[in-house]
Structure 1
Amino acid sequence: MTLIYGHRGARGEAPENTLASFQRCLEHGVTRCELDLHLSADGELMVIHDPTLKRTTGQRGKVAAHPASELECLDARSAGPAWPQPCPIPRLRTLFEHCPFEHWQLEVKSASKVRAMRTVEAIVELTREFGLSHRVTVTSSSRSVLRALQQLAPQLARGLVAEYDWLDPLKVAQRYQCSLLALNWTLCSPERLRKAQQLGLHVSVWTVNEPALMRRLADLGVDSLITDFPGLATATLGNR
């Protein structure tokens, strides 16, 4: 059976990476999600995709330049879709408190060595506090983040995010002892999928929004798909 992950919550239906988006995902009965993390100036894990604020809030500046208390006062509806109430940038802590997901893919964006280590340490601390260490896989395309995970958080599952074909993603995933491969769906050939699964990798493909593509990838045997439309995915794959 192919599992379904909500991409940044339910990005196609509510403003991405906001509490409203993750609650909408859960309303569809989808209990797995993927989200993006950046550190605030005061070391809080904030749920936002870009390192800058412009696209989702309309404000200038970098996430890392502001404390969490300022960031969670910003309205993150600018990238759409339309939503009636303000949607703050949430702390990961807030989602852990309000959203009972059974599994989380926590993607950490590219970071310097020092920032990668600080981010990983914050994830270790927060997942331990909430007793969620067994329910998260920390993913990244950044070698510095994957190295920091190996060194500082061997107890947390790791995943490689692979968007381009210029490096063999299976070799990279093995090098960093990953258990999950988050693969751009265009890279998911039957041969690569078979080899990855033979290596024991859970293959999660993104971003899959068309019903015909959902069915094709499920028939191919992917372990999970990440979608902006978790309700549509449930309706498409639910009777399989």
Structure 2
Amino acid sequence: MNRYLALVLHLGLFTGTLAAPALADTTPLEQQLKDLESFQVIAHRGASGHAPESSMAALELAHAWGVDYLELDIQMTADGELVAFHDDTLERTSNGEGHINDHTLAELKDLDAGSWFNEENPELADDAFAGAEILTLEEVFNRFGQDARYYLETKSPELNPGVEEGLVRRLEAYDMIETGRVLIQSFDQESLLKIHELNASIPLIQLVWYSPDEENEGRLTEWTGVTPSPDEITDADFRAVADYAVGLGTNYLYDGEPVITKAFVQQAQDNGLAVHVYTVNDIDEMQHLIDWGVDGLFTDYADRLIELTE
């Protein structure tokens, strides 16, 4: 038996999502937005602490645990196919070389995107991981369909021209929008606004990354400039994001030090934004952020988070 399947059986966890049953006279999309008011368990690249990130094994394990969202980064191949892969280059999580966008789907399918995990995590190694394929978005949808919710990032849109159109086209083809199955996230505000123009029904999450300002000691800055420093952010700044997004995805730490506060979380929520924090794997940090009242956490170890929130 595969190690990850054995883990599912050992934990005795169920298959399905944690979303509440739809309320009477509520559309599935409205229900999705309502569910965002409850705490969300977001499986970062699937159960990536237990299996190769973004692999079918990682997604199946997270889905079996009953996570609220399967989180994936979406990129475009040289021949226009959408694939689930985080890095811009292939070396870290496959035996390929170069930029993923320079390769056709057929070339990517020939790669081994699983053996690296066994080499880096010998205590978690599983022979079944060797030879894992880079997945297309269609393969993910064909596997889980309407039985899962998806938290998809338009990754490096400057390297993936047309990714927004391709993504919306596939979401519509698989009826993932009106059925309340998908959130779209990006650090790139322009990419999110493009998604909004293509289909205004898709709920969006603005990603932000706060880190020290190299030119101003003691001050934080946001990577893309989409908001001011957390110390300087105003209600108007949050409302500007809430004009097109339903939530904010933010880091909590930089180099081990907090970059946001409980007050930041509350202020964002007061201005109509859910706050989802990435990527939190430590149980004490999970509990700390839950105590702050955050609306969800991205984690490589959804099993830990589920156990903490049950």
* TM-score when normalising by structure 2: 0.71
Displacement of 1:146 in angstroms is 2.1
Structure 1: runs of 5+ lacking an equivalent: none
- Are residues 1:5 and 2:45 paired? no
Match in the other structure for 1:87: 132
Residues 1:222 and 1:213: Cα distance change in structure 2 (over 3 Å): same
- Are residues 1:20 and 2:20 paired? no
- Are residues 1:75 and 2:147 paired? no
State the secondary structure of the residue aligned to 1:4: strand
- Are residues 1:99 and 2:153 paired? no
Match in the other structure for 2:95: 58
Whole-angstrom distance in 2 between the partners of 1:189 and 1:9: 27
- Are residues 1:110 and 2:159 paired? no
Structure 2: runs of 5+ lacking an equivalent: 1-37, 211-219, 254-258
Match in the other structure for 1:156: 202
- Are residues 1:191 and 2:257 paired? no
Q: Report if the CA contact (8 A) 2:148-2:181 is conserved.
A: yes
Q: Report if the CA contact (8 A) 2:44-2:70 is conserved.
A: yes
Q: Report if the CA contact (8 A) 1:110-1:145 is conserved.
A: no
Q: Report if the CA contact (8 A) 1:34-1:105 is conserved.
A: yes
Whole-angstrom distance in 2 between the partners of 1:78 and 1:179: 38
Whole-angstrom distance in 1 between the partners of 2:68 and 2:246: 20
Q: Report if the CA contact (8 A) 1:25-1:31 is conserved.
A: no
User: Which structure is higher in RCO with an 8 Å CA cutoff and minimum separation 6?
Assistant: 1
Residues 1:147 and 1:3: Cα distance change in structure 2 (over 3 Å): closer
Q: How many residues align?
A: 236
State the secondary structure of the residue aligned to 2:195: helix
Whole-angstrom distance in 1 between the partners of 2:201 and 2:239: 17
Aligned residue among 247, 264, 274 for 1:180: 247
| Structure with bigger gyration radius | 2
Match in the other structure for 1:146: 192
Q: Report if the CA contact (8 A) 1:35-1:107 is conserved.
A: yes
Match in the other structure for 1:126: 170
Code of the aligned partner of 2:163? T
Percent identity reads 30
Whole-angstrom distance in 2 between the partners of 1:72 and 1:206: 29
RMSD of aligned alpha carbons = 2.0
Match in the other structure for 2:85: 48
Q: Report if the CA contact (8 A) 1:55-1:78 is conserved.
A: no
Whole-angstrom distance in 1 between the partners of 2:239 and 2:142: 31
Q: Report if the CA contact (8 A) 1:111-1:145 is conserved.
A: yes
Match in the other structure for 2:293: 221
Whole-angstrom distance in 1 between the partners of 2:152 and 2:297: 15
* TM-score when normalising by structure 1: 0.90
